[in-house]
Amino acid sequence: MHGGPSGFNNAPVTRTVVIASGILTVIFGIRSRSIRLGLSYQEIFKHLRLWRFVASEFAFSSTPELMFGLYLLYYFRVFERQIGSNKYSVFILFSVLASFLFEVLALVLLKDSTSSLASGPYGLIFASFVPFYLDIPVSSRFRIFGINISDKSFIYLAGLQLLLSSWKRSLVPGLCGILAGVLYRVNAFKIRRVKFPEFISSFFARLAWSSGSSSRTSQRKCIQNLPSAAARRVERNYQAAARPAMPDPPESSIATLVSMGFDSNAARQALLRARNDINVATNILLESHQSY
């Protein structure tokens, strides 16, 4: 199982979050302040500053947490490709804010003013485990030392390692993230209908580094000098020529989707759109059913 094409193709928001999380972790780690970034009862109810909130939600406290956290964020880029960068930005904002409110409630109920919660994007990561569990199918199973495991098990193990990395300090924000993911899943406050203005989503697209080659860049510069109608025709022809021919979907992949309750013709079309990636095809079919 994989998250689709390698790299951050069609996932500029995920790229921004991963880079920001890594940079903030390094900055505060060098200054030996990352351990104090986690939310605490005193920080929240006395003087919680905006920079501390941002740092506590995106900077990890240790190198192991950073490694597992960035790996999971990178894998979950599949959801940005599924729902688009605009809606995925809404998902990030909602999961971060909802998990923060749950963390505040947990600190009030625990009434522990001496310890702080672990810092890092726990809300976003563990909120993503909800659609991962419900929407991503198992594509292969195998046995290791007599134990039956699936290809999804490695993602669960990485999440478990992160969840228990600091025991209660990391367990609480992880559980709060799962609750935030459940709220988004049940469409609380009609959140799944919300979209940001287009200029916000295009801002992340501009932040994404170009992955095209120099020849593709020069080709686009030539196209820009043509009249608009001619440029559109050349661009369509260029994209069609650059797109490799896809083989017919494997019958085994179609049978897998049909066994999940999807129509065979719809499964074939979804596999063609997903370039024979069964995980992406499943997400396409699920989204089409949810829109009806």
The pLDDT of residue 8 is 87
What average pLDDT does this structure show over 144-152?
A: 85
The pLDDT of residue 263 is 81
pLDDT surpassing 80 at residue 129: yes
* pLDDT tier at 246, thresholds 50, 70, 90: low
The pLDDT of residue 28 is 78
pLDDT, one tens digit per residue, over 9-52 is 888 999 999 999 999 888 877 655 544 677 777 777 666 666 77
pTM for this prediction: 0.70
pLDDT, one tens digit per residue, over 96-121 is 999 999 998 998 888 766 678 899 99
Spatial CA neighbour of 162 closest among 67, 92, 39:
67
* Best mean pLDDT range from 19-33, 75-89, 139-153, 242-256: 75-89
pLDDT surpassing 70 at residue 59: yes
pLDDT, one tens digit per residue, over 166-182 is 888 899 999 999 999 99
What φ, ψ does residue 141 adopt, rounded to 5°? -130, 150
pLDDT surpassing 80 at residue 212: no
The pLDDT of residue 71 is 96
The pLDDT of residue 200 is 65
* Total length of the chain: 292
What average pLDDT does this structure show over 276-283?
A: 82
Q: What average pLDDT does the chain have?
A: 79
The pLDDT of residue 48 is 63
CATH 1.10.3470 applies to domain 251-290: no
| CATH number given to 12-201 | 1.20.1540.10
* pLDDT tier at 214, thresholds 50, 70, 90: very low
| Cβ–Cβ < 8 Å for 80, 128 | no
Residue that wins the pLDDT comparison between 224 and 130: 130
DSSP H helical ranges for the chain: 12-30, 41-46, 50-58, 63-75, 77-83, 85-110, 122-135, 153-163, 168-185, 198-207, 214-224, 228-242, 251-259, 264-273, 278-290
Sorted by where each begins, the domain ranges of the chain are 12-201, 212-242, 251-290
The pLDDT of residue 257 is 79
